[in-house]
Amino acid sequence: MSKRDPHIIRRINFRRIIVVSLISILVVLLILFAFVMESGLPLTFESLATIHRAHPSLYLVDLLPIFISAMLHPMHHIINRAIREYEERVLASQELLKRNTEFAHVLSEGENPEPYEEMMETDLGKALKMIQLNIKANRRKEREQSWIAEGKDMVSKIMREYQDLEELSYQILKILNSYIQSVQGAFYLYDEETKLLSNISTYAYMRKKFLNQQFRIGEGLVGQCAYEMDYIYRTEIPSDYTSITSGILGDQKPESILLVPLITNETLQAVLEFAFLKERIPKLTIQFLLELGEIIARSLLNLKMNLRTQTLLEESRNMTEELQKNEEQLQEHA
């Protein structure tokens, strides 16, 4: 229905009231005419007065147009008010539909429009709001997955470039400290023979640090992380925790620490430790480090196996050379 329709209906309604009033007057005149003709009187005003004296009930008939008009007048206002209310509802619905359409259009363009209060008054508005929430959730999930994938790619590239354990651990800490916005990172390599976790690299405030630390399984937070083979997230920092040394800020305790075990094939390879000056660590950061931990652990295992193989080959070569020398000496003295 167009915006002009209610006005047209109002005019038609008013015209009908006028027509009904005119018809009621015509009916009264016809009744009076019939009475005059029945009385055999001429059609004059004096004859009308005569029949009214003879039939007093005709006075009520005379009042019929007034009575009908009196009845139709409030009805006219009632009908007009109903039409106005209907028109307002139609206009409100049209405006709401227009806003919903604009909202859907902006949403389809990949933007994030602000919801409006009246939006939840219609099923369409509720559906659009639900679509918006789903789109926001999907975009957030895509950003998170992209962030995790990008971090994995950066670390994987580092692991392909370096074969020395100490240099590799340092480069990994350097990348991760910046990526997860920590202020300190430490790399503890696990030795199967000594059963010790040894700090082979520490990085803090964009500088390489040197900490000669070792932990047994179950000793300290590092050893506890290795023993439980699960990450540790602490906001209550132990009093004996190593302070972060910075040439700018001096000794400063972190607000939170995160330790992640590097495990592959249910075998511990190392423990990563990160310290933050903020109390809350995003869950996404923890998820990223847990997923990355297995990748680093596999690389460490392969690297240690390669180093072990090289060591064995070197020992075998040395033994072979020694045997050859001994054999030559025996032949000389024979």
Instruction: Supply 77's token pair.
Output: 């206002």
Shared domain for 98 and 233, answered yes or no, is no
**Around Cβ 137, how many Cβ atoms within 10 Å?**
10
Residue 207 domain flag: yes
Residue 292 domain flag: yes
Cα angle for residues 308, 230, 307 (degrees, 5° grid): 10
Q: What are phi and psi of 112, to 5 degrees?
A: -120, 85
Shared domain for 181 and 305, answered yes or no, is yes
CA distance 242 to 251: 9
CA distance 262 to 282: 20
CB 7 within 8 A of CB 22: no
Number of domain units in the chain: 2
Dihedral sign from CA coordinates of 144, 146, 152, 155 = negative
- The helix or strand, by DSSP H or E, that contains position 98, with its residue range, turns out to be helix 64-108
Dihedral sign from CA coordinates of 264, 266, 268, 274 = positive
Residue 74 domain flag: yes
Structural domain ending residue among the three candidates 77, 108, 139: 108
- Residues 60-96 have pLDDT tens digits of 777 777 777 667 667 767 777 777 788 777 887 777 7
Shared domain for 158 and 226, answered yes or no, is yes
CA distance 262 to 189: 9
Shared domain for 103 and 183, answered yes or no, is no
- Residues 257-309 have pLDDT tens digits of 999 999 998 899 999 999 998 888 999 999 999 999 999 999 999 888 887 78
Residue 134 domain flag: no
Structural domain ending residue among the three candidates 108, 137, 164: 108
pTM beyond 0.95:
no
Shared domain for 103 and 220, answered yes or no, is no
Shared domain for 303 and 195, answered yes or no, is yes
CATH number, position 171: 3.30.450.40
- HSE-CB at 111 with a 13 A cutoff on CA atoms is 9
User: Which one-letter DSSP state was computed for residue 44?
Assistant: S
Shared domain for 42 and 191, answered yes or no, is no
CA distance 100 to 161: 54
The domain of 229 spans 147-317
**Around Cβ 304, how many Cβ atoms within 10 Å?**
17
CA distance 12 to 90: 19
Shared domain for 196 and 103, answered yes or no, is no
Shared domain for 96 and 240, answered yes or no, is no
Among candidate residues 177, 206, 172, the one with its CA nearest the CA of residue 188: 172
Classified as helix, coil or strand, 181 is: coil
Shared domain for 151 and 266, answered yes or no, is yes
Residue 136 domain flag: no
Residue 325 domain flag: no
Q: Which residues pair with residue 207 across a beta bridge?
A: 204
Structural domain ending residue among the three candidates 108, 137, 161: 108
Residue 129 domain flag: no
pLDDT in the model for residue 190: 94
Shared domain for 173 and 290, answered yes or no, is yes
Looking at per-residue pLDDT, the higher value among 183 and 24 belongs to 183
Across 165-186, b (16+ Cβ under 10 Å) vs e yields: beebbbbbbbbbbebbebbbbb
Looking at per-residue pLDDT, the higher value among 189 and 100 belongs to 189
CA distance 317 to 324: 11
Q: What are phi and psi of 257, to 5 degrees?
A: -135, 150
Residue 269 domain flag: yes
- Residues 113-171 have pLDDT tens digits of 666 666 666 676 777 777 777 778 888 899 999 999 999 999 999 999 988 889 999 99
- Taking residues 217-235, report their average pLDDT: 93
Shared domain for 155 and 203, answered yes or no, is yes
Packing angle between helix 283-333 and helix 123-161, nearest 10 degrees? 20
Whole-number average pLDDT of the chain:
80
- Chain center to CA of 163: 41
CB 226 within 8 A of CB 271: yes
